[in-house]
Structure 1
Amino acid sequence: MERGLWRFLKVLFVAAFAFHPYFCHAQKDPQYSFVQEATSAPPVSYHSYIVVGGGAAGCPLAATLSEKANVLVLERGGSPYLVPGKTDKVNFLIGLYDTSNESYAQHFYSEDGIFSHRARVLGGGTVINAGYYSHADPKFIEETRLDPALVKDSYQWVEKKLAFQPPILQWQSAVKDALLEAGVQPFNNFTYEHIVGTKIAASIFDENDHRHSAADLLEYANPGNIKVYLHATVHQIIFTTENNGSRPRATGVIYVDALGVKHTASLTKDSTSEIIVSSGAIGSPQLLMLSGVGPAPQLQAMGIPVVVDQPMVGQNMADNFLNGIIVPSPLPVETSLLPSVGITQFQNYIEAWSGLNMPPFTGPIRKPLPPLLNQIYTEARKKVEPYPNTTRLQGGIIVQKAGRPLSTGYVELKSTDPNETPKVFFNYFNKTEDVDMCVRGMETVIKVVNSNSFSKFRFTSVSTQDLMNLTATITSNVRPKHFNTAMSLPQYCKDSVSTFWHYHGSCQVGKVVDNDYRVLGVDNLRVIDASTFHATPGTNPQATVMMLGR
């Protein structure tokens, strides 16, 4: 009797939630009737354009193409709209370290021991990043030979939907003043532009700290010309060769839905029909290789038939490394993410965040903290009631990013499973110039932390060296650690390095794709994302990746 009653109540409970207005809204956002689960897709479909990856490039690209053509978008993740508040500013770190099946971030360790993330959600990295929005360095636009007028129009198209001027409260105001005190001059006020000095940048978080993302750009799409399938993992691009000696031509893709059912999406016979891969600096070279376009020895070792021997696919992978100093504060701080930024003459970028929810720490503790520092850091982690096992840091971190690292690595297949992150080797600090760049950046960070402008957010009893030891101790990489390295900033750079998530370079223009982003050696196939970059475009690439998609 009790079991029967429990089952009845359970069914009633589930039904109540299923038909509650919020959950009805969540299951299918009414503004995007064309976004559906891939389980509803037909076995075979035909499209003028097939976009693989609904991320920072894929969403604006698909929305633009749908103005005049039939477009299919295949996104391996789910919708970012289902759980209100999940991607709000205060939960930035919680989202990155979410280990549930519904996580928008896929975790992996690089081959050089750095804990990293890949986006798996409609909107891509714009759903899980720190929200910073800024135009590219003019040098980047010149190098990529893009039309400046078209670049300007495309940025503005993006900004109408998701760029906002952030508030500058106590912590960020102190950071701004400290940067100026540290010599990062002049003050350039609020601007989208990439200018040497200190400025206030835009954000994709609105005035209520709610995130907007590239998925919002699908509002521009013609709903009659576009279909977006979620949890659609592309396993292979299909190539055909019509005549002996002719170039392989991409004609479709095979993708698998959440139930493991295979579907085929094929191109129509239009002369302009194309497959466009926008799966990011890790996913794009991985898919090319799984489809037979890549280094022949590697493909043959995996039993993959070689379509084109393209040895540069996956090579020149790079990441902008992050180093910084965690600063617990004696005063309450606002929740903030990176609006105050310093762009140095050496092209180091100095930024800061504060007051975020922090997940339970699970990384390797390399050394016990001194009692006083342990007490201060423990007290700075305030409990957050809505989130079990979560704390909010009263304080923040000042970080530096190297603008143009010279060290590069690779992406190589680990298996033929497209769901598995391939081997990723960033090769941090392989070039001594990168170590020198990090040292210059850390010298500026130390000046900021020690400045008069920032002094009210410092415990006077804790030295900068103590803060550096704290940072190195809890940095979630698995590289060897050294301590008391105040006089050895090069070693500190190597000990405390983290990713800035700005992966790029694995399908570079001129090596894997041409200047129009067409994959060399095949027809009807392009790559449009940060994998094509020779360098990141500035303080943060997301605005430029979305602009490029447009």
Structure 2
Amino acid sequence: MGLGFWLWRLTLLSAIFFSPNQCTCQKDGVVNSRARVLGGGSCLNAGFYTRASPHYVREVGWDGKLVNESYRWVERVVAFQPPMRQWQSAVRDGLIEVGVLPYNGFTYDHVYGTKVGGSIFDQNGHRHTAADLLEYANTNTMTLLLHAIVHRILFITNNKGGSSSRPVAHGVVFKDEHGREHMAYLKQGSRNEIIVSAGALGSPQLLMLSGIGAAHHLREHNISVVLDQPLVGQGMSDNPMNAIFVPSPAPVEVSLIQVVGITDFGSYIEAASGENFNHRSRRDFGMFSPKIGQFSKLPPKQRTPEAIEKAIERMESLDQDAFKGGFILEKIMGPISRGHLELQNTDPNENPIVTFNYFQDPRDLEMCIQGINTIERIISSKAFSPFKYDNMPVSMLLNMTANSPVNLLPKHTNTSMSLAQFCRDTVMTIWHYHGGCQVGRVVDTDYKVLGVDALRVIDGSTFNYSPGTNPQATVMMLGRYMGVKILTERLVADETK
């Protein structure tokens, strides 16, 4: 099968987009997305479940015992051991063959070498999400509002005597699915507080919309300044992902992320695959589904139902062999490069403007180069040979991937592309963005927003670095961890009265 055929197939993918998320394209030219469903990104992601490293836990200053208890609390509901089939097994064995050692078997722990991680997909292939953790909730004391969008947090001034005063969060303004405005208030005189968990894009955006941010930026949008805090929206990071698509001469199972190679040079190697037609429906394209949207280049206003249907029809017309294969990808640790977030307008339904500055720091680029080098060796390994065409050398796969529309960046036509240029040209997101409300800058170590009272931010926006190879386990853990800490603090306060 010729190179032109595969380029056409990858080009076709660029016209397809349908998703329960909200697409956003940053200034960097990388297509990204923001979850807009109960359960957040765990409803949309590739499902890989792995803990943060012990070093990360110590560096952040968390209580290790409570962290482990909280991970186990999450894992009882949403984490499972994935079945290891042909493609993932070949990638695992390829990693071991090229020296990403030791082999650590199945584990949730973050350890150097190759391992099989957890999955939020159970043995029947059903996804379990952060929303499943609501089974722990006391339904007599919790009210869950769906389709309710918070527009801003309300503040009053707490005069503590003398000339000093602090803003105190005491309520929120939100709109329901019909656009009707509502207000909800904390009970006066209580120790209650507002906890924001809107994610790395939503939490700094909401703080700004509520008057907490750089004063000059807020005034540009006619927002009354509650607290001049220029660090809100700063320190934004997104772990860059680069992948090589490998067409397979043999059938390949549908698989998302199950194996990871944790290298000692700072790159994580993972893989996904898909035999994308099944006996029930030719409209289920698995990894290359219209629901994924990673390869979308079509402007949002052009993603009409008619355009999506046309793209599906075109994909259905392809020969089944066009969908055999998968990606081997690398994501870098950290990253070191940082960017920023600012408001586009005052509508919370619209995405903020984000710049991640992928590979601005040369150390990030070096990690990518070493990661791609490792992927090349895996593809050429004996373990992976059943899933690679003999007449398609790795250089051809690199050029095929580099010339496909994986992002909105301009393409280079030279045939002797360096790995550094490949990293820059094919950079994508793996949806692990973080920052904007970081500990020590916007919130304290108890996640209380500095400079105001009765307000915390508890989510990935507080991270300085993305934990583990994939952060969702730690984000879910942190919710339970801080819930226990807050309740314990209240209990101690009550006992000392």
Same fold (TM over 0.5): yes
Shifted more, 150-159 versus 454-463: the winner is 454-463
Give the Å deviation of 1:474.
2.2
Superposed CA offset, 1:359-415 (max 9, x none) = 4697459xxxxxxxxxxxxxxxxx999x96898821100000001111110110000
1:250 — aligned with what?
A: 169
**Structure 2 contact 169–453 (Cα < 8 Å) conserved:** yes
SS at match of 1:136: coil
1:179-218 equivalent positions in 2, closer than 5 A: 179-218=95-134
**Are the equivalent residues in 2 in contact too, given 1:465–1:484 (CA < 8 A)?**
no
- Partners of 2:377 and 2:201 lie apart in 1 by 36
Q: Corresponding residue for 1:331? A: 250
Amino acid at match of 1:439: I
Structure 2 letter corresponding to 1:165: Q
Alpha-carbon spacing, 1:98–1:212, altered in 2? closer, same or farther (3 Å): farther
The count of residues paired between Structure 1 and Structure 2 equals 435
2:272 corresponds to which letter in structure 1?
A: W
Match of 1:522 in 2: 452
Higher relative contact order structure (alpha carbons within 8 Å, sequence separation ≥ 6)? 2
Task: Kindly state the Cα deviation for residue 475 of structure 1 after the two structures are TM-superposed.
Answer: 3.8
* 2:479 is the counterpart of 1:549: yes
Answer whether contact 2:31 2:296 (CA < 8 A) is retained.
Answer: no
Query: Aligned letter for 2:84?
Result: I
**Cα separation, partners in 2 of 1:514 and 1:423, compared to 1, 3 Å:** same
In 2, Cα distance between equivalents of 1:301 and 1:162: 43
Mapping for residues 496-515 of structure 1, pairs under 5 Å = 496-515=426-445
**SS at structure 2 position matched to 1:171:** helix
How far residue 485 of structure 1 moved from its aligned partner, in angstroms, is: 5.8
Q: 277, 280, 299: which one pairs with 2:218?
A: 299
Could you tell me how far apart the structure 2 residues matched to 1:127 and 1:462 are? 36
Q: Which residue of 2 aligns with 1:407?
A: 337
Matches within 5 A, 1:93-492: 98-99=17-18, 103-243=19-159, 245-355=164-274, 356-359=286-289, 363=296, 393-484=323-414, 488-492=418-422
- With 149-158 and 234-243 compared, the bigger mean Cα shift is at 234-243
> For residues 512 and 469 of structure 1, do their structure 2 counterparts lie closer, same or farther at Cα, with a shift above 3 Å needed?
same
Is the 1:162–1:204 Cα contact (8 Å) retained in structure 2?
A: yes
Q: Secondary structure at the match of 2:403?
A: helix
What is residue 493 of structure 2 aligned with on the other side? none
**Which structure 1 residue ranges, 5 or more long, are not aligned?**
1-93, 366-382
Alignment RMSD: 2.1
Preserved contact between residue 151 and residue 174 of structure 2 (Cα < 8 Å): yes
Tell whether the 8 Å contact from 2:272 to 2:287 is kept in structure 1 after alignment: no
Cα deviation, residue 428, structure 1: 0.4
For 2:271, what is the secondary structure of its paired residue? strand
In structure 2, do the counterparts of structure 1 residues 384 and 163 end up closer, same or farther at CA, with 3 Å as the change threshold?
farther
Shift of 1:354: 0.5
Higher alpha-carbon deviation: 466-475 or 298-307? 466-475
CA distance in 1: counterparts of 2:471 and 2:135, whole angstroms? 22
Return the TM-score normalized by structure 1.
Answer: 0.76
CA distance 1:512–1:334, shift in 2 (3 Å) = same
Conservation of the 8 A alpha-carbon contact between 2:236 and 2:338: yes
Offset at residue 211 of structure 1 (A):
0.4
Using the TM superposition, name which of 471-480 and 392-401 deviates more: 471-480
Residue aligned with 1:341, SS? strand
Q: Identity of paired residues, percent?
A: 54
Instruction: Mark the CA change 1:126 to 1:491 in structure 2 (over 3 Å): closer, same or farther.
Output: same
Query: Does the aligned pair in 1 maintain the 2:79–2:121 contact within 8 Å?
Result: yes
Runs of 5+ consecutive residues of structure 2 not aligned to the other structure: 1-12, 275-285, 299-310, 481-497
Equivalent-residue separation in structure 2 for 1:483 and 1:160 (angstroms): 50
Query: Do 1:155 and 1:543's aligned partners in 2 also have CA atoms closer than 8 Å?
Result: yes
- How far did residue 245 of structure 1 move? 3.3
Partner amino acid for 1:282? L
